[in-house]
Structure 1
Amino acid sequence: MKYSTLLLVLFMLGFAGCSDFLEESSLDEIRPSSIDDLMQIMVGEVYPLSNTVRSFQDFLTDDVECFGAQGQELMESPIENLYFLFSWDNEMFNERAGAHERVNAWKVYYNKIMGANTVLEYLDEVIGEQASKDNLRGQALTMRGWYYFLLVNLFGLPYNYGDPTENMGVPLKLKMEITGSYYRRNSVAEVYEQIEKDLLDGINLLENNPIVMSEYKINALAAKSILSRVYLYMENWDGVLRYTNEVLAEKSELTALASADEAAFVWQGSNAFGVYNMTTSNEVIWLYSNMGETSTFYTAGSFNYRAPFGVSDDLMDLYEFENDTEKKNFKDLRPFLYFSTSAYFLQGLPVYYQLYGCKCGKQSLTIGTKGIRTAELYLNRAEAYTRKFIALGDDNDRKLALADLNNLRRHRYDTRNVAYEPKDYRNGSDLLEFCKEERRRELCFEDHRWFDLRRYGMPSFTHTYFINTDNKEVITLTEEDPRYVLPIPKLALDRNPLLIQNKR
């Protein structure tokens, strides 16, 4: 069955109804008939190969900063279009916001869940080997769990805040059929319970029916990695340790940034070295997205002014980087290799700055830029050990946490001429802060920071928004601010009278 026909099938099966929040529809004609048909649905409608609803999260965090229009009239409109996101405004997903169609995560993720439900519904009816069907079922369950994990962390309170059995999460829709019924919001705990079930079932199916596929597809290691992240958010430290240990026992490699060619250690250029470039990196577990997705949010600067939005000074100050003109020891190499760098000229000299996160090599527009890497597994495990050390006082947990963190950093520092110097922390709170900062340094611009801030207790920080420097607006997200939970789009509320809007 051609993919264009499958798209029509999906639309008739309910994709339109899903975006209308599951209004009635029916289908009596063309249906998927083979495992290949369902795989096309997975690739085209379920996997997050490329869309812009993830990169908007960085504008909610302290990793992005506004630098104004700098007297350039053509910069004013791009800044205005991102105001509603940058200010955590109630209108961020509605028509008043210039970027609203690019960031409507509610609509996009529920459509992808509908795709996963369609695959699950038809698996027993199509032609194909049972092992292939079971593997695909594992992929679909894992992806459904993944999207519910994203939804509940955007539109519900953090799992570790208050009572998750009482706090509102998102509606669970687990069947393909369109009944005409409206759906209420399930609790945060109920959503997490379903996420855990989908991932556990998916892992079992993927492990028992392995198929070698590209890193753009889900396998058992990727599903276990996702589950380790879920348990991290649930503060199930033993669960984190179990699944990080299982993944790292099978795939433990980290890419040494110091092994890159000399051409990588410059601010600009075309060197392909990157931790998400499969030709230069051995730590990728799952891969998605591309540079085009991210760059759509960042208007480029010019030779005499910088871009209006870019990587915050607050983030860049966390890196122990030295601009060694003799190139003997830069220390932390991530400022070179984790960002797209631009420049403007001041008094005839270039001023370089980090525009946005880019971990697939300089100037690449096609290679995946996000996903899951072994680096995250080491960080998940280090945090679990740190939390256990704080709770129980077992010094072995402290040592294990430091071993993971120093192992990661050893692969990120310039060791061409100077050995890495390991860090040591004796106090639990200091170790936890170090762990959090290392997570921010390593995983920035991979859709972690906003969710991490939420589970860290929703701390206060500010954004300074301006077009012209004489008219700056300082916007503060206070501690435990209700705006840490995003507003449900008005269109979804209008089409489902049972949905309750978040209080902000």
Structure 2
Amino acid sequence: MNRKMKYSLLVSVVLFLGCKDFLEPKSQSEYVPRVVQSLDELLLGDAYHSPVQITSNMLYSTLGLFDDDVAARPDMTIVDESENDFNKALLAFSWSKDMFTKLSGFGNAYASSYRLIMGCNAVLDYLDDVAGTIEEKNDVKAQALALRSFYYFHLVNLYGKPYSVDKKAPGVPLKLTSRLSTDAMPRSTVERIYDQITGDLREAERLIKTLPDEKQLRKNKRVNLPFIQLLLSRVYLYMENWEDAMRYAETVINNYDYMIKDLNTVKEPDRNSNLSYPNYYDWNNSEVIFMLGDLNDIISLAITSVTVVVTEGTETFKKSTVVCVASDDLINSYDPNDLRKTRYLVWESITSKQSGPKYRIPVSKLKVGTDYNFNTGWGNDWGIAFKITEAYLNAAEAAAMVYKTEGDAVCQTKALQWLDKLREKRYPTGTYIELTVAKVGDLVEFVRAERRRELCFEHHRWFDLRRYGMEKLKHVWYDRNHNPIEYVLEKNDPGFTLMLPASAFENNPALEQNDIQGEL
């Protein structure tokens, strides 16, 4: 048994399913780490959500179908009658309360997040007792704190109300140790979770700054300083702490050599040629600061495919195709000359000859081609990218809010400048015209629309809709008989916040029964 497997077992014996398992005593593993290198290996095996991770975790599989960037195809009457997966996407698309029960392993973000948090906690618990240099320990601790912060941020934005709406509302149980306990654990408030996140991220920032520059700025699949600072800017943006959100975003923009990719250098993909497809989620992309997550997590449900029957002339054959597509509302939000419309949103045709209905599919910057497989994904590809483009948008929104609330003209100018730097790389060379106050109109509204266009299908939109005020949201599904069915979330609808899964209540009496409603 290799060392990585040994120390993965250290955590796997105490992994839990929601609150049930982390409150249930279990036997300890015989493998106890003695040196810091063992904890470093433990991080890779049980704390990083990655394509090569030993334990399969699903954090995002349902998230891509919640928002208004997706729509259901109206022509699914051609679905093969033997197809069993047709309604999988509907469960998330309709915000069904039975989603997690009926989808089984799909979308169990609650259990998956806590499994990863347990890996982080185990590393932090053992850190003081292992041999190693101060530099080595600081490095491992910074990574564990940063990763744990991200997973709690993900959890609280799924299962807690938006910070700006009710920070005193119940969030999620805050588990900060891997030690076994039979004590019940109530939900901490949204505010308490955010305090833990920001405190841990600032400590991670302090620790990683003690390391040599090459470790602070590494691009080797490990947490780095710019990622920590970008995440801080995002968290502060959600907290409506505009000054700190802008300060951290500016730091990422100004202190490092990440560059906005010029889409003029990216040809429009040819659906018949794999070689024509750019891979935006790549360490060689000048925008990429850090990557996390397994692409299978992203595509397993978000672009669920079904088998359809296609007839061309006298020939009838079956083809795998997507159920959900990019919404007209998103597509129409792009200017005619905006290159993102064709570089980010990929055409999909239901026939082999590219005739018939064509749609833009919700894979955004993910690598696709003629031989991609919706069910198995693309192997060791990444599913989440943290990019410099977000820093520009975080800074612009924070500055726009300062201008709106305080009338600070300097912040207005800054917001326009950051938007121009991003947008000029999104239009054909020589055609872009800088923004003016008159053209923009409501600056905050414009920034948020730009954020949608730039970050579509990067798993920001649902969380953004929540923090913007949870306005009315409607999805239209089409059944096999082509009949439209409407699903609606009203303004401030409780459906904007997921209910804790039933499994969380089985051994945690501190959770209140009104915290649960079905499985959503």
Instruction: Tell me the alpha carbon deviations over residues 216-264 of structure 1, each in whole angstroms, 9 at most, x when there is no partner.
Output: 211111011101000000000011111111111222511111123x4x4
CA distance in 1, matches of 2:43, 2:345: 30
Distance 1:28 1:155, change over 3 A: closer
Partner of residue 44, structure 2: 43
CA distance in 2, matches of 1:292, 1:75: 24
> 1:199 aligned to 190, 198, 201, which one?
201
Letter in 1 for 2:69: D
Distance 1:77 1:13, change over 3 A: closer
Distance 1:455 1:427, change over 3 A: farther
Distance 1:473 1:168, change over 3 A: same
Distance 1:403 1:419, change over 3 A: same
Partner of residue 344, structure 2: 338
CA distance in 1, matches of 2:134, 2:489: 51
Partner of residue 226, structure 1: 231
> 1:257 aligned to 263, 272, 277, which one?
263
Partner of residue 455, structure 2: 443
Instruction: Tell me the alpha carbon deviations over residues 411-440 of structure 1, each in whole angstroms, 9 at most, x when there is no partner.
Output: 12222xx33122323498622111111101
* 1:462 positional shift: 0.6
CA distance in 2, matches of 1:35, 1:384: 40
Letter in 1 for 2:32: R
> 1:64 aligned to 70, 74, 88, which one?
70
Secondary structure of 1:102's aligned partner: coil
Secondary structure of 1:73's aligned partner: coil
Partner of residue 307, structure 1: 322
2:184 counterpart of 1:182: yes
Distance 1:387 1:118, change over 3 A: same
2:335 counterpart of 1:320: yes
* 1:34 positional shift: 2.5
Partner of residue 95, structure 2: 88
Secondary structure of 1:495's aligned partner: coil
Secondary structure of 1:255's aligned partner: coil
Q: Percent identity?
A: 32
* 1:492 positional shift: 1.1
Letter in 2 for 1:35: V
Partner of residue 353, structure 1: 359
Secondary structure of 1:487's aligned partner: coil
* 1:48 positional shift: 1.7
Partner of residue 474, structure 1: 486
1:447-462, aligned counterparts within 5 Å? 447-462=459-474
Letter in 2 for 1:497: P
Is the Cα–Cα contact under 8 Å of residues 58 and 108 in structure 2 kept in the other structure?
A: no
Is the Cα–Cα contact under 8 Å of residues 173 and 185 in structure 2 kept in the other structure?
A: yes
> 1:100 aligned to 81, 101, 104, which one?
104
* 1:63 positional shift: 1.3
Instruction: Tell me the alpha carbon deviations over residues 36-63 of structure 1, each in whole angstroms, 9 at most, x when there is no partner.
Output: 3222221121112144421321111111
CA distance in 1, matches of 2:15, 2:367: 39
Is the Cα–Cα contact under 8 Å of residues 277 and 360 in structure 1 kept in the other structure?
A: no
Letter in 2 for 1:332: D
Instruction: Tell me the alpha carbon deviations over residues 109-161 of structure 1, each in whole angstroms, 9 at most, x when there is no partner.
Output: 01111110001011122232220111110010011111111111100000000
> 2:405 aligned to 374, 387, 391, which one?
391
Is the Cα–Cα contact under 8 Å of residues 240 and 380 in structure 1 kept in the other structure?
A: yes
Is the Cα–Cα contact under 8 Å of residues 379 and 404 in structure 1 kept in the other structure?
A: yes
Is the Cα–Cα contact under 8 Å of residues 301 and 344 in structure 1 kept in the other structure?
A: no
TM-score of the aligned structures, taking structure 1 as reference length = 0.90
1:86-235, aligned counterparts within 5 Å? 86-94=93-101, 97=102, 99-162=103-166, 164=167, 166-210=168-212, 211=215, 213-235=218-240
Distance 1:300 1:278, change over 3 A: farther
CA distance in 2, matches of 1:17, 1:282: 37
Is the Cα–Cα contact under 8 Å of residues 357 and 444 in structure 1 kept in the other structure?
A: no
1:417-428, aligned counterparts within 5 Å? 418-426=430-438
TM-score of the aligned structures, taking structure 2 as reference length = 0.87
Bigger mean CA deviation after superposition, 189-198 or 348-357? 348-357
Letter in 2 for 1:173: K
CA distance in 2, matches of 1:208, 1:62: 43
Letter in 2 for 1:315: L
Partner of residue 421, structure 2: 407
* 1:470 positional shift: 4.3
CA distance in 1, matches of 2:391, 2:335: 22
Instruction: Tell me the alpha carbon deviations over residues 355-391 of structure 1, each in whole angstroms, 9 at most, x when there is no partner.
Output: 2224254448244242210000000000011001111
* 1:396 positional shift: 2.1
Distance 1:74 1:448, change over 3 A: farther
CA distance in 2, matches of 1:8, 1:17: 19
Secondary structure of 1:342's aligned partner: strand
Secondary structure of 1:176's aligned partner: coil
CA distance in 2, matches of 1:346, 1:121: 56
CA distance in 2, matches of 1:369, 1:256: 22
Letter in 2 for 1:138: A
Letter in 2 for 1:86: F
CA distance in 1, matches of 2:496, 2:17: 29
Distance 1:33 1:346, change over 3 A: closer
Unaligned segments of structure 1, at least 5 residues: 322-330
Distance 1:309 1:134, change over 3 A: same
CA distance in 2, matches of 1:14, 1:474: 40
Partner of residue 291, structure 2: 287
Partner of residue 7, structure 2: 6
Bigger mean CA deviation after superposition, 402-411 or 85-94? 85-94
Letter in 2 for 1:71: I
Distance 1:287 1:348, change over 3 A: closer
Is the Cα–Cα contact under 8 Å of residues 390 and 428 in structure 1 kept in the other structure?
A: no
Letter in 1 for 2:119: G
Letter in 1 for 2:90: Y
Is the Cα–Cα contact under 8 Å of residues 334 and 412 in structure 1 kept in the other structure?
A: yes
Unaligned segments of structure 2, at least 5 residues: 52-56, 312-318, 373-377
Secondary structure of 2:124's aligned partner: helix
Partner of residue 278, structure 1: 283
